[in-house]
Amino acid sequence: MHFFSQLFQFEHPWLHVSHGIWYKYPNPYCAHVASVDVLDRSVNPETGVVRTERIIGVRQNAPAWVIKILGCTPDTYVREVSFVDPVTRHTSLTTVNLSMSQYLTVLERIHYLPSADKPDTTEFHQTAEIQAARGTWRALAERLERWSVERISQNAQAGREGFEHVLRTFQTPSQAIEASAA
């Protein structure tokens, strides 16, 4: 099992960031995201929490040795479940790979919370657990896990810059209408 984690602050309020998660893709920093679809969505009438399940298509540039061993297809898919809690002001996204899960499980969790010290900024917590499937040849499992951690840290950097770009530029529907009327 390998772990990855990072923590930083976005210079945007939590409300803005929580809108931004629906505009995160496409962005020029994450060209590997090919499609995003909502599979299920519900609002809890008691808590007001919005739960969304999405399937995200990803184009991986896997190294040749990975393709050779796994014979993996160019498009892989991940399942993402997000919760936006308006009462506790906690937004979370959990992502698990669907493709290649017979070899490897990558569980990624992101939390967005208002910063305790600066209310106009948002704390971003990201953790990932990478575990090769039981029964995978040990040397291969180790190599796969290491490669995944490298990929995650590269993607994490791009993800951060990409989301920052989105947060600076996206318009909510009413902002878009105001802008077009101006």
Taking a C-beta distance cutoff of 8 angstroms, is the pair 160, 168 a contact?
no
Tell me if 133 contacts other proteins by CB under 8 A: no
Q: Residue 10 in contact with residue 121, Cβ under 8 Å?
A: yes
Answer for the pair 162, 28: CB distance below 8 angstroms, yes or no: yes
Is residue 121 a contact point for other proteins (CB under 8 A)? no
One residue of 2, 32, 50, 72 binding other proteins per CB under 8 A: 50
Q: How many residues does the chain have?
A: 182
Task: Determine the Cα–Cα distance for residues 131 and 148; give it in Å rounded to an integer.
Answer: 10
Is 142 a residue that touches other proteins (CB under 8 A)?
Answer: no
* Contact call for residue 99 and other proteins (CB under 8 A): yes
Residue 17 contacts other proteins per CB under 8 A: no
Across the chain, which distance is largest between two alpha carbons, in Å? 62
Counting contacts by CB under 8 A, is residue 158 touching other proteins?
no
59 binds other proteins (CB under 8 A): no
Least CB distance to other proteins at residue 2 (A): 19
Q: Which position among 6, 69, 72, 86 is part of the footprint of other proteins (CB under 8 A)?
A: 86
